[in-house]
Structure 1
Amino acid sequence: MNNVIVRLSQISEDVIRLFKKSKEIGLQMHEELLKVTNELYTVMKTYHMYHAESISAESKLKEAEKQEEKQFNKSGDLSMNLLRHEDRPQRRSSVKKIEKMKEKRQAKYSENKLKCTKARNDYLLNLAATNAAISKYYIHDVSDLIDCCDLGFHASLARTFRTYLSAEYNLETSRHEGLDVIENAVDNLDSRSDKHTVMDMCNQVFCPPLKFEFQPHMGDEVCQVSAQQPVQTELLMRYHQLQSRLATLKIENEEVRKTLDATMQTLQDMLTVEDFDVSDAFQHSRSTESVKSAASETYMSKINIAKRRANQQETEMFYFTNDNSDASVIYRLRLQ
């Protein structure tokens, strides 16, 4: 988990750093586009100005041509012979003025037209360059900027989560292996085998000790029960008494044994009840309230558990109080 946290922290640092760098590059691109558009606006205004001047010069030239044409028309209508001699110089001066004005306006128009043509060419070239720059920005640069912002992000994030998934899958595998080990151990639980194993391991504690040997006193060599008179009658009487008592104890012990067997079976049933299935508590299709309600009515509810514990302790108390109460007495009587 620490590995995943470190990787996520590194990814965060990389994203912030790359974003700042990409933002700087993006601002530079915006400044370049602004510069290009400002240049285009300046060139456009220059073109509009020269074009307006060219139109004005053309208009003035046409006006001069009209005046010239009007003057020629007048000259054609009036015969020179009809004009008085003193009006001829004045007429020539007027024609020269018109021709001179036309030449000046023609020169001005040509000059303005040339300027307009250059300005238009400059505007068209800048317009194409500006459109190309804007097109390049939106088609290529924006995509490249986004790529720079998340450079390696998806790959790093994928590696991080694959690390997490690998850890979880291995943890799940280890958990399943551990569950298999526990299940195998549960299947192999055997109280009788465990008891024998413990007794074998501690044989010095559980092995019966040596029998007590007869210890003769001051040279007494008799080591068996003597049944001769006068103790024979006493021994026979004692024998019959022991037999009678032994028969009575056997009957009582048999009844107690039956009761204890039934009690043991009850304890076994209590201890081996199959109450380990808790799948109902993990039913996601049902609401939380219904799950809680179902759990309260099942065998594992707190009330039922308390009742079972009380019954179990009561049964255990009865069993251990009455177990083997007369068995040792019967065994001794048999030996006697």
Structure 2
Amino acid sequence: VMKTYHMYNADSISAQSKLKEAEKQEEKQIGKSVKQEDKQTPRSPDSTSNVKFEEKHVRRSSVKKIEKMKEKRQAKYTENRLKAIKARNEYLLALEATNASVFKYYIHDLSDLIDCCDLGYHASLNRALRTFLSAELNLEQSKHEGLDAIENAVENLDANSDKQRLMEMYNNVFCPPMKFEFQPHMGDMESQLCAQQPVQSELVQRCQQLQSRLSTLKIENEEVKKTMEATLQTIQDIVTIEDFDVSDCFQYSNSMESVKSTVSETFMSKPSIAKRRANQQETEQFYFTVR
């Protein structure tokens, strides 16, 4: 369409220039005729009339030719000008339609095409992420509930109560058995100690020996008890050391190197775990040996 417009417009401009050239020739011819009439010398009436008639005939012939050429070029210019106007109108309409189509494509169609290609991606992603968040939140809630239950159980830990509950649960194992009864032999039904002579002095001597031995054992047991209590306290101090706080290991830092350094310093400042376990094992062995 643009090439057609350019072609017809070029033809129109060419026809216009040719028309102007014809108009100039016409004006030039008319001016020349006027000058010749002014410069003409007087002659006899007959000869003058003949000359004038011939000159007028020549001038009229030239003027008619120029007028025909002018009319022809005028018609050609009008035709080409009309074609150029129509071509320009078609070109402008095509431009308007093209611009409207391009505008519609980039403003409306492109968005619609993206929506068609989307195929609900964002909705699916939204559902997936919300499912993940729901699962994580419920997991976090369940985890907190479990931690609260564990913390409550830790607060309620009681060794004596648990020991009593264990004995009550298995009372057939931990209850004392029945006393051994005296079994009479061949009609001997006496079930009490006999302190008559001559066994009385022997019983008295044996009682004194037992009392002396009991006094010695009591002193030894007191010493052993003190040692056991001290050893037990040492074991309890070892097993109840408050090293469960690991919050220092989760301190935030801008650098991983500083995190490693903090963790290393934290653990280096505490007693060696291997050394502590060795001391605990040695103390436990001593405790069971003494006991």
What is the CA–CA distance in structure 2 between the aligned matches of 1:319 and 1:310, rounded to whole Å? 14
Give the residue type in structure 1 aligned to 2:226: K
What residue number does 1:277 align with? 245
User: Does residue 49 of the first structure (1) align with residue 17 of the second (2)?
Assistant: no
Runs ≥4 residues deviating over 6 A: none
What is the CA–CA distance in structure 1 between the aligned matches of 2:189 and 2:104, rounded to whole Å? 128
What residue number does 2:77 align with? 109
Q: Greater shift after overlay, 155-164 or 69-78?
A: 69-78
Overall identity of the aligned pairs, in %: 69
What are the residue-to-residue correspondences of 1:199-238 with 2, within 5 Å? Answer: 199-238=167-206
Alignment counterpart, residue 106 of structure 2, candidates 125, 133, 138? 138
Partner deviation per Cα, 1:120-170 (whole Å, 9 max, x = no partner): 211222222222222222333333333434353333222211111111110
Contact persistence 2:22–2:66 (CA under 8 A): yes
What residue number does 1:175 align with? 143
Backbone CA RMSD of aligned residues: 2.1
What is the CA–CA distance in structure 2 between the aligned matches of 1:140 and 1:109, rounded to whole Å? 45
Partner deviation per Cα, 1:273-304 (whole Å, 9 max, x = no partner): 111111111112271331232233233x6xx2
Taking structure 2 as the reference length, the TM-score comes to 0.87
User: Does residue 297 of the first structure (1) align with residue 268 of the second (2)?
Assistant: yes
What residue number does 1:22 align with? none
Which protein has the larger Cα radius of gyration, Structure 1 or Structure 2? Answer: 2
Alignment counterpart, residue 23 of structure 2, candidates 65, 71, 74? 65
What is the CA–CA distance in structure 2 between the aligned matches of 1:315 and 1:107, rounded to whole Å? 129
Contact persistence 2:26–2:67 (CA under 8 A): yes
What are the residue-to-residue correspondences of 1:79-90 with 2, within 5 Å? Answer: 79=37, 81=48, 84=51, 86-90=54-58
Q: CA deviation at 1:106?
A: 1.6
Give the residue type in structure 2 aligned to 1:137: Y
Between the two proteins, the alignment pairs up a number of residues equal to: 278
Give the residue type in structure 2 aligned to 1:57: A
Q: CA deviation at 1:101?
A: 1.5
What is the CA–CA distance in structure 1 between the aligned matches of 2:220 and 2:239, rounded to whole Å? 28
What is the CA–CA distance in structure 2 between the aligned matches of 1:182 and 1:166, rounded to whole Å? 24
User: Does residue 315 of the first structure (1) align with residue 286 of the second (2)?
Assistant: no
What is the CA–CA distance in structure 2 between the aligned matches of 1:312 and 1:78, rounded to whole Å? 147
Give the residue type in structure 2 aligned to 1:298: S
What residue number does 2:45 align with? none
Structure 1 residues 254 and 114 mapped into 2: Cα distance closer, same or farther (>3 Å)? Answer: same
Q: CA deviation at 1:119?
A: 1.2
Structure 1 residues 83 and 294 mapped into 2: Cα distance closer, same or farther (>3 Å)? Answer: farther
| Higher RCO (C-alpha under 8 Å, 6+ residues apart) | 1
Taking structure 1 as the reference length, the TM-score comes to 0.76
Report the 3-state secondary structure (helix = DSSP H, G, I; strand = E; otherwise coil) of the residue aligned with 1:210: coil
> Please, which runs of 5 or more residues in structure 2 have no aligned partner?
41-47
Q: CA deviation at 1:88?
A: 4.6
Q: CA deviation at 1:96?
A: 2.2
Give the residue type in structure 1 aligned to 2:121: F
Q: CA deviation at 1:87?
A: 4.4
> Please, which runs of 5 or more residues in structure 1 have no aligned partner?
1-42, 324-336
Give the residue type in structure 2 aligned to 1:71: Q
Q: Greater shift after overlay, 82-91 or 182-191?
A: 82-91
Structure 1 residues 215 and 86 mapped into 2: Cα distance closer, same or farther (>3 Å)? Answer: closer
What residue number does 2:227 align with? 259
Partner deviation per Cα, 1:91-115 (whole Å, 9 max, x = no partner): 3332322222122112111111111
Partner deviation per Cα, 1:38-66 (whole Å, 9 max, x = no partner): xxxxx221111111111111111122222
